[in-house]
Structure 1
Amino acid sequence: MKSLVFKNFIINALGILFSRILGLARDVLIALFLGAGLYSDIFFVALKMPAFFRRIFAEGAFGQSFLPNFVKAKKKGAFCVSVMMQFSLIVFLFCLLVSFFSSFFTKLFAFGFNADTIALAAPLVAINFWYLFFIFLVTFLGAILNYRQKFFITSFSAALFNLSIVIAAFFVDKNAPQNTLYYFSYATVLSGVAQLVLHLLVLKNNPVIRAMALSVKFKKAKAKLQGFYGNFFHGVLGSSATQFSSLLDTTIASFLMSGSISYLYYANRVFQLPLALFAIALTQVSFPKILKHLKSGQENLALKFMQRALALLSILLIASSIVGSVFALEISKLLFERGNFTHEDSVITAYVLIAYLIGLLPFGLQKL
């Protein structure tokens, strides 16, 4: 069992590592073309909005509430269809709402932006927000894959988002930053479509998908979701605090000098590498195994498994914090200092990165 868990952890970590390497390439190109200023601030706000709701509703509360209730469900096909249809409709309508009132939502997230900046950012917010709809479906299908102990596709598929931005960068002109924003925004939405298609192709012969199809065919797609929604809303409350603190960072930064939002973004991207590579990868592998122990009444095994995972994760995160803090400026210069990204931008980003790394251990442990 230990070797299987370790193997799954390594496979998942490799998929995430590949995605993060592409992510760093994406951020290098964004820094090259947009630097740290008005246009990069606008793009990061437009990107942050769907990411904010994705982390609360899709990856956070949804992921934590779906699997336990899915395991308990007697009619798994009907349960999945009910969840997918109800949530898809809710997310679709929410995306429409944001598209129609994009100026209001932009002001809500970046209250310090002036009227001219809001006017530039609002259309981009309307475009980028549709990424949330596709990524919810990806999260739903990814949860089914994780239950079947198939981790690589879900972790690898995130690389398609980064790859889309990298490809879009070949078509942009660094002297036309406003056009660059639209290229990157449409690439973001198309990456969500690509991730969805990839998951559908992988899952086409999955027994859960076949059960879902039969439930729809025989009109037996209704299932009781009270337990699921109870867990979901508790999960929303639990994950909201962290995300709202992140939102507060952006809101405060929008009142500061131009580029402040970008400094937070670039530093956070580096901070997210050990967090994703160790904390998220280990959590995704551990959670299904812990659930199966609990379902079979083996609480002691579940507890021992959790303790080992916490010990391993603590060692990895402490080491990452020390190394990252010592070499913060070198990391910032190596990754971002080229094109429109100056040495002064590197220094500020390094200070922000050190501040982020202070919280890496507690932030990573709460993921498990």
Structure 2
Amino acid sequence: MSLLKSASTVSLWTLVSRITGLVRELLVAATFGASAMTDAFNVAFRIPNLFRRFFAEGAFSQAFIPALAASKEQDGEEATRQVINHVATVLAWVLVLASVVGVLAAPWLVLAMASGLRQDGFAAATSMTRWMFPYIGFMSMVALSAGILNTWKRFAVPAATPVLLNVSMILAAWLLAPWLAGRGVEPIYAMSAGVLGGGILQLGVQIPVLRSLGLLPRISLRWSQVRLAWADPATKRVVHLMLPALLGVGVAQLSMLINTQIASHLAPGSVSWITYSDRLMEFPTAMLGVALGVVLMPRLAAARAKNDTAQYSDMLDWGLRLVVVLAVPSAVALLAFAQPLVATLYHYGAFSAFDVQQTTTALMGWGVGLVGIVAIKVLAPGYFANQDTRTPVRIAIAVLVITQILNYLLVPYFQHAALTLSIGLGALINATWLLLGLLSRKSYRPRPGWGIFALQVLAGSALLVIYLLWAAQEFSWIGLRAESFKRIGLMALVLVGAAGVYLGAIWAAGLNPRQFLRR
């Protein structure tokens, strides 16, 4: 139950984060719509996010958490504190240098990300990139703090901090944007201040918790201490593990860069439609995949450090069963009920019915690959816990090639929706490849009963499809724009009914969700 309790804590805070994130996107959509300026902001925001994934929750976390867990298990807490200090010192110096270079190189970064932006959008994206680039520094230190706290099984604070970014951006759109507009300044610039403020808040809230545990990193500014930190074998181990992980993250971000570049050459608003659909896709991805990955990573690493192969395999099995029982119905909802979801959440203010339709098609592309996207969050830590960052990279490179071939074939027919569909299909291939690798190594041995379990989930999902298709056709979700509270209330009733239909169906098929979760 400790695993379930930890995952539930992370999932609950992730739910709060995604709700505030939806409020943020709703407010941005209603205030700014889908235009050249919103495309410029989304491009600018993706640039520091891209580099953040290099230094933060991507490559760094994949290398740092297994090394930290192994040090804690084998060398004790005092030696691990020294590892934390040395790694934090090296990371801080790298981040300062990266931030300076990023601010200076902003025009070239925007050009590489979205050369199709028009002149005014390009200038706006460049300016906002410069304002937001230091965000990677704050978020990378947040990732280091989160890795420490998760290793010490303090999951709540790291899981709660993303809420602060959303709150900061909501305040920027609500209060700062009108203030700038009243002074003749393009209001979208307010969102840059919201992003930077959110990064500061997220780091600030973690510092007192680390201090209370005696784990607050001591970052040295003296060059002699930096050289000492770099010479630490533990630091070199983290860097050694990061190199292939950086390549893996680079492959994933290269895919995103290519897709953004393609979208910038399509109809104006394409980047924004994909971004709005991505926010909805992140709801199940974060609540299921990220929560499970955060909880499983340090425990899988600890099991490997103790050479406890049975516990390692059982935790993977537990995680994959949760993925199937929860991600499959979520994918069904994104495919069968996409337009009502988009209309209810975004169809206000400057967001038109045309924007609803375009965002809907992008969301359905994500739905195709949702199970794969979530499963990767469980399967990849199975490799990282073994301090194997190379195998997922090789798979990611192959999947990148496949994804771009799919883009070449599908974009002429489906436009921006092809970009999400190709990523979704690539995620399914990636997850299958990772699973087969774990099975072939005999690192993961599935527990009995998977065949019956899969049939029970499919039976429940089939009834869910029928129910959601009926609800999508029965009500005029776009036509209810003027009656927003009625539409929101109707959506709540339909979703409660959907949960009842699915859970009732799998229970009738012989799968008791409570017994499954307890096991």
TM-score by length of 2: 0.67
Match of residue 300, structure 2, among 290, 298, 302:
290
Match of residue 163 from structure 1 = 167
CA–CA distance in 2 between the matches of 1:239 and 1:356?
A: 20
Match of residue 139 from structure 1 = 143
| Aligned partners of 2:43 and 2:114 also within 8 Å | yes
| Aligned partners of 2:180 and 2:186 also within 8 Å | no
Taking a change above 3 Å as real, the CA distance of residues 215 and 173 of structure 1, as seen in their structure-2 partners, is closer
Task: Write out the 4+ residue segments of structure 1 that deviate beyond 4 Å after TM superposition.
Answer: 212-217, 219-222
RMSD: 2.0
Say whether residues 1:94 and 2:92 are aligned partners.
no
Match of residue 197, structure 1, among 196, 201, 204:
204
Match of residue 253 from structure 1 = 263
Match of residue 178 from structure 2 = 173
SS of equivalent to 1:173: helix
Taking a change above 3 Å as real, the CA distance of residues 126 and 25 of structure 1, as seen in their structure-2 partners, is same
| Aligned partners of 1:41 and 1:259 also within 8 Å | yes
**Equivalence map 1:1-368=2 (5 Å):** 3-73=1-71, 74=75, 75-171=79-175, 172-173=177-178, 176=181, 179-209=186-216, 212-213=217-218, 223-224=232-233, 225-368=235-378
Which stretch shifts more, 176-185 or 31-40?
A: 176-185
1:216 is displaced (CA, Å) by 9.9
Higher relative contact order, chain-length normalized (CA < 8 Å, sep 6+): 1
Taking a change above 3 Å as real, the CA distance of residues 213 and 189 of structure 1, as seen in their structure-2 partners, is closer
1:93 is displaced (CA, Å) by 1.2
Match of residue 509 from structure 2 = none
Q: Which runs of 5+ in 1 are unaligned?
A: none
SS of equivalent to 1:241: helix
Q: Note the alpha carbon deviations across 1:333-362, whole angstroms, 9 max, x for none.
A: 111111111010001100010011111111
1:178 is displaced (CA, Å) by 5.4
CA–CA distance in 1 between the matches of 2:118 and 2:32?
A: 20
SS of equivalent to 2:212: coil
CA–CA distance in 1 between the matches of 2:318 and 2:54?
A: 27
1:55 is displaced (CA, Å) by 2.3
| Aligned partners of 1:22 and 1:163 also within 8 Å | yes
Taking a change above 3 Å as real, the CA distance of residues 247 and 216 of structure 1, as seen in their structure-2 partners, is closer
Identity of aligned residues (%): 26
Give 1:42's aligned amino acid.
A
Q: Note the alpha carbon deviations across 1:205-240, whole angstroms, 9 max, x for none.
A: 21333xx559999x7856222221111111122233
| Aligned partners of 1:76 and 1:208 also within 8 Å | no
CA–CA distance in 1 between the matches of 2:267 and 2:39?
A: 10
SS of equivalent to 1:187: helix
CA–CA distance in 2 between the matches of 1:304 and 1:216?
A: 44
Q: Which runs of 5+ in 2 are unaligned?
A: 379-519
Which stretch shifts more, 37-46 or 49-58?
A: 49-58
- If you compute each CA radius of gyration, which structure gives the higher value, 1 or 2? 2
CA–CA distance in 2 between the matches of 1:327 and 1:20?
A: 19
Give 2:214's aligned amino acid.
P
1:85 is displaced (CA, Å) by 1.4
Taking a change above 3 Å as real, the CA distance of residues 108 and 148 of structure 1, as seen in their structure-2 partners, is same
CA–CA distance in 2 between the matches of 1:206 and 1:265?
A: 38
CA–CA distance in 2 between the matches of 1:175 and 1:90?
A: 34
| Aligned partners of 2:63 and 2:241 also within 8 Å | yes
| Aligned partners of 1:50 and 1:131 also within 8 Å | yes
SS of equivalent to 2:17: helix
CA–CA distance in 2 between the matches of 1:186 and 1:201?
A: 24
| Aligned partners of 2:47 and 2:129 also within 8 Å | yes
CA–CA distance in 2 between the matches of 1:269 and 1:56?
A: 21
TM-score by length of 1: 0.94
1:247 is displaced (CA, Å) by 1.7
| Aligned partners of 2:89 and 2:220 also within 8 Å | no
| Aligned partners of 1:78 and 1:223 also within 8 Å | no
Give 1:17's aligned amino acid.
L
Taking a change above 3 Å as real, the CA distance of residues 363 and 174 of structure 1, as seen in their structure-2 partners, is farther
1:315 is displaced (CA, Å) by 2.2
Q: Note the alpha carbon deviations across 1:312-331, whole angstroms, 9 max, x for none.
A: 11221111000111110011
Give 1:71's aligned amino acid.
A
Number of aligned positions between the proteins = 363
| Aligned partners of 1:270 and 1:353 also within 8 Å | yes
CA–CA distance in 1 between the matches of 2:7 and 2:321?
A: 15
